[in-house]
Amino acid sequence: MTLERNTLLVALVGALLLPFAVTDQYLLHLAVMALFYVVLATSLNLVVGYVGEFSLGHTAFLGTGAYTAALLSTHAGLPLWITVPVAGLVAAAFGFAIGAITLRLQGPYFVIVTLAFAEVLRLVANNWIAVTNGPMGLAGIGQSGLTDKREFYFVILALAALALYLSYRFVYSNAGRAAVAVRENRYVAQSIGVDPFGAAMQAFVLGAFMAGLAGGFYAHYISFVGPEVFQFAFMATIIIMVLMGGKGTLVGPIVGAVIVTLLEEYLREVQELRLTLFGLIVMAIVLFLPNGLMGFVARRREQHGSTILRNTPAEEKTV
Amino acid sequence: MDLFLQYLANGLVIGAFYALSALGLTLIFGLMRVVNFAHGEFYMLGGVLGWFVTAHLGLNFFLGLALVAATMATLGWLVDRFLIERVRGQGEEPGILLTIGLSIFLVNATLLVVGPAPMKVAGAFAEGPVFIGPIIVTKLRLLAVAVGAAAILAAHLLIRRTRLGRAMRATFQDPMAASLAGIRTKHVYAATFALGCTLAALSGMLLASVYSAQASIGGLVSLKSFVVVILGGMGSFAGAVAGGLLLGIAEAMWGGYVATGMVDVIGFVLVILILLFRPQGIFSARAERA
Amino acid sequence: MHRLVLGSVLMAGVAAAAPAQAQETVRIGLIQPLTGSVAYNGQSVVEGARLAIEEVNAAGGVLGKKIELIIEDGQCKPANSVNAVEKLVQKDKVVGLVGAFCSSATAAIMPVAQKYKIPLVTGVSSKADLTEQGNPYFFRAAETDGLMAKAFAKILAKDLKLGSVAYIGVNDDWGRGGIEEFSRDLSALGVKTVLTEYFDHGTTDFFTLLTKLRAAKPDGVFVAAETQDGSILVKQIRELGITAKVFGVGSWATADFIKLAGDAAEGIHAAVPYASTYEAPRNQAFVKKYEAKYGIKPGKYGAAGYNALNIVAAAIAGAGSTDAEAIRAALQKTRYEAPNGVYQFTGKGQAYGFDAVLVRLEKGEPKVIASAPVEATD
C-alpha cells in the first residue's frame, strides 16, 4: 500500500517536472496523449482489474464525455473547466444506467453486452444528425484560451492525478476490498455479506466518470469529435494498455499507457510494417508476460527481494 | 404483398449468410469460450485466398474451395497449438488480447502482401437472376445458401455422430474427466479450433464470390458474428442458424419499412434484449455453466 | 528491469530520430489512410504523390535541393492524423503538408497546421465548409460536390431524360454532401426525388434497399459511393433487374471499378474530377508515366495525389525559400498546369479552373462525354 502510494507520488513529481525538461512540442504532444490514455486505462482498470469483469464498452463513456463537452462548447460556448466536469457527470449517469443493466451478467455475456451498448451509441451518434451532426462530426471546438501545449499538459496531468487519487481511495476502501473479494470468489464473498452488485456498480460508475473526463479533454484538445470516439479501435488500444501494464495494480495501467503510446509512435519508423509489428508485439506480451509488465516486475521482486519497483515507474514517466 | 415477400426472401438469404459466417465462431466462442476477435480475419483470409487460388492458380471454384479449406484448417491448428493453448483456462482476458493482437497482425500482413484493393472471386458459374414467383434471387446466392446448409449439416453430423465429435462434447463438458477417460484433449481443442477456422474461411470465400474480398472487412464480420452467436445461444448450431435468420429478417424488415440508415443497430439492440430476458439464447435450453 | 530496458530503448529511439540540422532536402509531409477501410483510396493518393516527387526531383528539385516526401498513416482518424502532423512538423521539420483524405481528419489537423504556420493542401477532402473557416494556411486542390453538381446536373437531366431520381449514398460527409448538392440542382431543373437512403461504409448487401428502390420506379439512380461499396451496389442493381439509369460520383473511372462491377458497369455515368481518358496531351503523358510505374491507369485519387504534390512543390519553388509565409503567398498565386487543366485558388483557398469530366463507362473504358471547368464561387 505504501509502496504503491510512494511510487505514484514519485511518478507525479516526475510528471510535474517533465514540461520544464522537454521543450520539443512533438514529445510534449505525446506526453499529453499518454496522460489522456493513463486516465482511460486507469478507469478501465477499475472494472477489469478490480471487479474482474471484462468490459468492451468503455468507449461508450469516452464518447458520451467527448460529445457532451463538444456540444456544450460549440452551442453554449462554455469553457473547458465547465465542460469537462459536466462531461464526467453525464458519462457517470450513462455508466449508472448501463451498469444497472449489464452488471447482472458475467463472463463472455458481459463482454458482448457492453460492446453492444458502445456500438448502439456509435450508431446513434452516426445517425442523429440534428444533435451530433452525424458522420460530419463537430468541428472547431474551442480551446478555452489554452494555446500552449504545456497548459494542456497540466490540465490532463491534473485529470490523471484525480483519476489515480479516486482509484486509490476506491481500491483501499471497503467497497474496493469487497470488489476484490467478489473477483476472487463470488460465493465466498456473498457468504460473508458482500453485495457483489453494489461493489461492482461503484467501480463501474467511477470508471465511467473518469472516462467521461478524458473524453471531455479529448474534445477540446483534438478540437474535433465524430462517431469514431465510440469505435472499437479505441477500445482495443485501452485494453492492450491495461493488460500489457498489468491489471489489478494502480501502476500497471500507467506503465501500459505510456509504453503503448510511445510504441505506436516509435513504430512509425518502420513505415508499412508498423501495425503488423504492433500486432506481433501484443501477442508476444500475452504469451511471455501473462500478468503484464507489473506482474513480471512483482515476480522478479519476490525472487530477488530487490527494490526495483520503487524507482522504475518514475523513470518511465520522465520520458 | 409482393414487396413483403421480396423483403422476406432478402432477409432469409442474408440471414443464411449471417448464420454461415458465424458458424466458426459458434465453435470457437460458443464451445471453446475463446472470445475470438480474429474470427473476421479468418473469414477475410478465406476470401483473399479464394481470390488467389482462382485468379492466380487458375483452379475452378470448388477445387479452390477445398484448397482454401485445407490451408485454413492447418492455420487454425497451428494457431491453437502455438497461441491459444498457452492461455487456455485463464479466463477470457488473455484470449481477447491474444486474438486482438492476432487480428491486427493478420489484417496488416495481408495488406502488405496483397494490397488494399478489393478483389473479385470468380463464382462457380455466371451470375444471373432466378425468378420464384414475384421474388428475385440470384444463382450465386442460392448456391451460397446451399453450400452453407451443407456445411452446417456436415459440421452437425461431425459433432453428433463421429468419435471426434464425441471427444469434443466430452472435452467441453468436463476437460478433466475427458482426459482421465483417455481423450487427448489438446488435440480435441486444436481440431475444434481448426474446424472453426475452416468454416469461417469457407464462408469468406463463398460470400466473396457474391460480394468481394478485401483486407479490411474482418471487423464488421466479427461483430455481426458475435451478435448471431449470442442470439442463438452459445455453442448451438441450430441456434446459430436461428440467430442468423432472425437477424437477417429483422434487418430486412426494418430496412424495408423504416429506414436503411440505422439497420446495424438492430442486431445490438436484440443482443441487449436477449441477454436481459433470456441469457441462454433463443435456442439453447440449458443454462450456462459458471 | 526488463521494463526499464524497453523504456530506455524507446526513449533512445525517439531521441535519436530528432531532427537533422542543416537539411539536405526539402521535406513535404503526406498524411493518408494507409491502413483501415479507406486504405485502398489512400494508397492511390500516395502513388500519385510519389510519381510527382520523382518527376520534380528528376528535373532538379526545388531551391537546388531534392524534395523528400515523408508519408505517415493517419488512418482517417482525427486523433491519429493529429499525431502524424505533430510528428511531421516537429520531428521531420516539413515545410508543407498534404492530407488527410477524410474531411473529419482534415478538419482536425487544420488548426494544428495553422498553429505551426505550415501550409496544408488537401487533394481530396470535399466537405464544403472546410474552406469557410478562415484558415489562411489551408488550400483545397479538389472539387466540392456543389461545384460538380453545378457543372453536370443540367447535362445529366437532359441526356438521361430524367423525370424522377432515387438517391443512394454512403453515410458520411462526402456521401451526404453529394446527395444534397445534386438533389438540390436536379430538383431545381424539375426532376422529382422519389427516394433518399444512406448506407454505412462496408455494407455488402443492398437487396433490401434496392427492393424499395425498385418499387419506387425512378428513371435514374444517383449513387455516391467509392469503389468497394459502389461496385457491389451497381452489380446488385442489375441483379435485381432494375433498369433505371445509374449515375453518380465516386472513383468509378478506374480499371479496378470496372473489373469489380463487371457487366453492370456498362453504360453508367460518373461525374469525376479526373478520368484517364480525358483528351489532352499533358494528360496522355501523365497516364503513360503512371501506367509504366504502377501497371494501372490513374484514377481520381492517383491524380489528386499527383496534383497536390505538384502544387506544393511549385509553390516552394515560386517562394524561393522554405519560409512558411512565402510558400503560403506563392500557393495563393498558384497557376499549375495539371493533366486536367489549370489549377488556381480563390481567396478562401478553393481550387478552380481545372476541368471536371462526365464519363460513360463503355466496354470497360471510361468515355468522356462532357467536360466543364470548375468555376470560382467567391
Residues C136 and C153 placed together within one structural domain of the fold = no
CB < 8 Å to A266, chain C: 10, 13-14
Amino acid C66: pLDDT: 93
Whether complex ipTM tops 0.90: no
Residue C131 lies in a domain: yes
Which chain A residue has the Cα nearest residue B266?
A120
- Tell me how close the Cα of A289 comes to any Cα of chain C, in angstroms: 11
Return the closest-CA partner of residue C332 out of C319, C320, C349, C318: C349
Cβ <8 Å between A136 and C103: yes
Residues C232 and C174 placed together within one structural domain of the fold = yes
- Give the neighbours of chain C: at least 3 Cβ pairs within 8 Å: A, B
Count the neighbouring beta carbons within 10 Å of the beta carbon of residue C73. Answer: 24
User: Is C6's pLDDT higher than 70?
Assistant: no
* Count of structural domains within chain B: 1
The predicted model scores a pTM of: 0.89
Residues C196 and C288 placed together within one structural domain of the fold = no
CB < 8 Å to C37, chain B: 216
Query: What tens digit of pLDDT does each residue of C70-86 get?
Result: 999 999 899 899 999 99
Please tell me which of the candidates B13, B216, B263 has its beta carbon nearest to residue C37: B216
Query: What tens digit of pLDDT does each residue of A262-300 get?
Result: 998 888 888 788 899 999 999 998 898 888 888 777 777
Residues C48 and C167 placed together within one structural domain of the fold = no
Among C272, C291, C314, the domain boundary falls at C272
Amino acid B135: pLDDT: 85
Give the C-alpha separation, B31 to B236, whole Å. Answer: 8
Give the C-alpha separation, C164 to B206, whole Å. Answer: 37
Cβ <8 Å between C133 and A222: no
User: Is A230's pLDDT higher than 90?
Assistant: yes
Which chain B residue has the Cα nearest residue A285?
B98
The CATH number assigned to the domain with range A2-317 reads 1.10.3470
For residue C259, which amino acid is it?
A: K
Residue C85 lies in a domain: yes
Burial of C259 (0-12, 13-18, 19+ CB in 10 A): middle
Query: What tens digit of pLDDT does each residue of C112-170 get?
Result: 999 899 999 999 998 888 898 889 999 999 988 888 888 898 888 888 888 999 999 99
CB < 8 Å to A253, chain B: none
Q: Which residues of chain B have pLDDT under 70?
A: 281-290
The full DSSP string for A225-281 is E-GGGGSHHHHHHHHHHHHHH-TTSSHHHHHHHHHHHHHHHHGGGGGGGHHHHHHHH
Cβ-based neighbours of C350, under 8 Å, separated by 6 or more? C131, C140, C144, C376, C377, C378
B20, B104, B108, B212: best mutation site toward chain C, by most C Cβ within 10 Å? B212
Q: Is A185 on the interface with B (CB under 8 A)?
A: no
Return the closest-CA partner of residue C235 out of A240, C227, C137, B27: C227
In which band, very low, low, confident or very high, does the pLDDT at A318 lie, cut at 50, 70 and 90?
Answer: very low
Among C241, C272, C303, the domain boundary falls at C272
pLDDT > 70: percent of chain C: 93
Residue B290 lies in a domain: no
Residues C170 and C245 placed together within one structural domain of the fold = yes
User: What Å distances lie between residue C252 and A267, B208, C43, C141, C227, CA to CA?
Assistant: 34, 20, 16, 20, 6
Amino acid B131: pLDDT: 84
- Tell me how close the Cα of A70 comes to any Cα of chain C, in angstroms: 13
User: Is C221's pLDDT higher than 80?
Assistant: yes
Per-residue cell: B212: 468481394
Q: Is A289 on the interface with B (CB under 8 A)?
A: no
Residue C209 lies in a domain: yes
The full DSSP string for A54-67 is --S-THHHHHHHHH
Residue B102 lies in a domain: yes
Cβ <8 Å between C104 and A134: no
Please tell me which of the candidates C197, C215, C227 has its beta carbon nearest to residue B260: C197
Amino acid A23: pLDDT: 82
Amino acid C23: pLDDT: 65
CB < 8 Å to C197, chain B: 259-261
Cβ-based neighbours of C19, under 8 Å, separated by 6 or more? C90, C91, C92, C93
Residues C184 and C267 placed together within one structural domain of the fold = yes
Query: What tens digit of pLDDT does each residue of A213-222 get?
Result: 999 999 999 9
Q: What is the mean pLDDT of residues A199-211?
A: 92
Residues C30 and C112 placed together within one structural domain of the fold = yes
Residue B55 lies in a domain: yes
Residues C263 and C159 placed together within one structural domain of the fold = yes
Amino acid A305: pLDDT: 56
Give the C-alpha separation, C205 to C201, whole Å. Answer: 11
Cβ <8 Å between A108 and B96: no
C160 lies in which domain range? 145-272
Per-residue cell: C237: 442493381
Amino acid C54: pLDDT: 94
* Count of structural domains within chain C: 2
Please tell me which of the candidates C10, C34, C108 has its beta carbon nearest to residue A266: C10
DSSP classification of residue A290: T
B148 lies in which domain range? 17-218
Among C212, C241, C272, the domain boundary falls at C272
User: Is C304's pLDDT higher than 90?
Assistant: yes
Per-residue cell: B272: 441487449
Domain boundaries, chain A: 2-317
Return the closest-CA partner of residue C273 out of C138, C149, C115: C149
Q: Cis (ω within 30 of 0) for the bond into C17?
A: no
Query: What tens digit of pLDDT does each residue of C90-128 get?
Result: 999 999 999 889 988 999 999 999 989 999 999 999 888
Residue B241 lies in a domain: no
Amino acid A309: pLDDT: 44
pLDDT > 90: percent of chain C: 55
